Amino acid sequence: MSEFVRKVSRKLSKLSPEQLERVMESVNGENRTLNSTIESLSTGLIIVDADFRFIKSNKAAERLLPFKKRPSGDKAGDLPLWELVDDEYISSFLMLCSNERKTNVSEEFSLSAGDKTRFVTVKIVPLVEKQASGDGNSFDTTITGSVITVEDITERTQQEVMLHRMESLAGLTNLAASVAHEIKNPLGAISIHIQLLQKSVKKSRDGDGMLPKEKFMENYLDVINEEIDSLNKIVVDFLFAVRPLQVNMSLSDPDALIEKFAGFFRPEFDSKGVRVELRLCKDSPRLFIDEKLFRELIINLAQNALAAMEERFLQPGSDTGGESGCLLIESHVKDGKYLLNIADNGAGMDEATVSKIFEPYYTTKATGTGLGLTMVYKIVKEFKGDIDVKSVKGHGTVFSISLPVPQKETMLLENKAGGVKLIGDS
């Protein structure tokens, strides 16, 4: 309200009809300007009372959020806002904030739209009303409801993913060097055997003109074909290691997924006498992850753990002192990060092996490709996380994964006069 209208409103009883008309025109003009400003915002805006019942919104809010019923429509009735929202997670967030009187909080959500996924941030701040004090020289602040903003962060999220991938390309130098080393040996073998074939053919033509014996030719050709197959596998694995992952990020509960994946691999562990133990968060946060890639990450680490425990406990003549294999998966949240530990009491690794464990083509298995843990590393980095490994030879290994929890908070400062002041307010 303008200062003019504020002053005039105190003297309404003394105003003439013409003066009252001027006041109404001024109020209507301010309302039109305010409504136009709100509707022009690209950020969604919803204003609710202290019980989270709808007061006002703009078109951007109704476009960005899925509603069962339009909050501004007649069918919305007197329902609280969370009963109007057609998304389980957003609805639960709004209900929790209302029931626990939470303000100055925000959370990110993913919304499916056909084959595409949109990401939005929903932020709740208090609706603060200023009222003149009794002496008329100062103002008291009262929280009368909440202001909910909805921001589309899809483009920003996609740009962050692209930037992260570009940064990952910096590591291709070492990978290319590894591939060059791997290709060198098969190429050398192919070259030597082709030279041997050429000499044999030339010698025969210079002599009796007869080609070498069929078995002699086939032996050389078989070796060449084997090396060509080896080269092809190296190239395929290289593309697998460097090609950007096809990621479909969404907000998912990691602990619920781990319990689901454990049900998949637990029978194999049970059949080999290896115990699977889960110690997961009671209320794990939802993370921006790809469920399929997260499954690959967990299964890959679990299979590596099983192989390590087989090496220690199931080898003939193994003396384990009565100890049996155990895979422990535990999670907790600390300092805005979701921490996941995957531990086993298997054969363990020495320091030299640990230092190279995530390098492409490095493997201690006779039949391994050396790309399993490279893929695990790629997936963790795609999720903007970190992974670390600690191992003791003959005792076991722990893989520690840290993933960011997508949650922000708006800070408040307390006014010395007892009111509430948002940071940035004058």
C-alpha gyration radius of the chain = 33
Cα gap 342→305, rounded to integer Å: 9
Q: Which residues of 215-228 are buried (b: 16+ CB within 10 A; e: fewer)?
A: eeeeebeebbeebe
SS3 for 253-272 is CHHHHHHHHHHHHHHHHHHC
| Residue among 380, 395, 404, 263 nearest 329 (CA) | 263
> How high is the pLDDT of residue 302?
94
Instruction: Give 112-130 pLDDT, tens digit per residue.
Output: 776 678 888 899 999 887 7
> How high is the pLDDT of residue 357?
82
Parts of the chain with a pLDDT under 50 = 1, 366-370, 409-426
Beta bridge partners of 45: 149
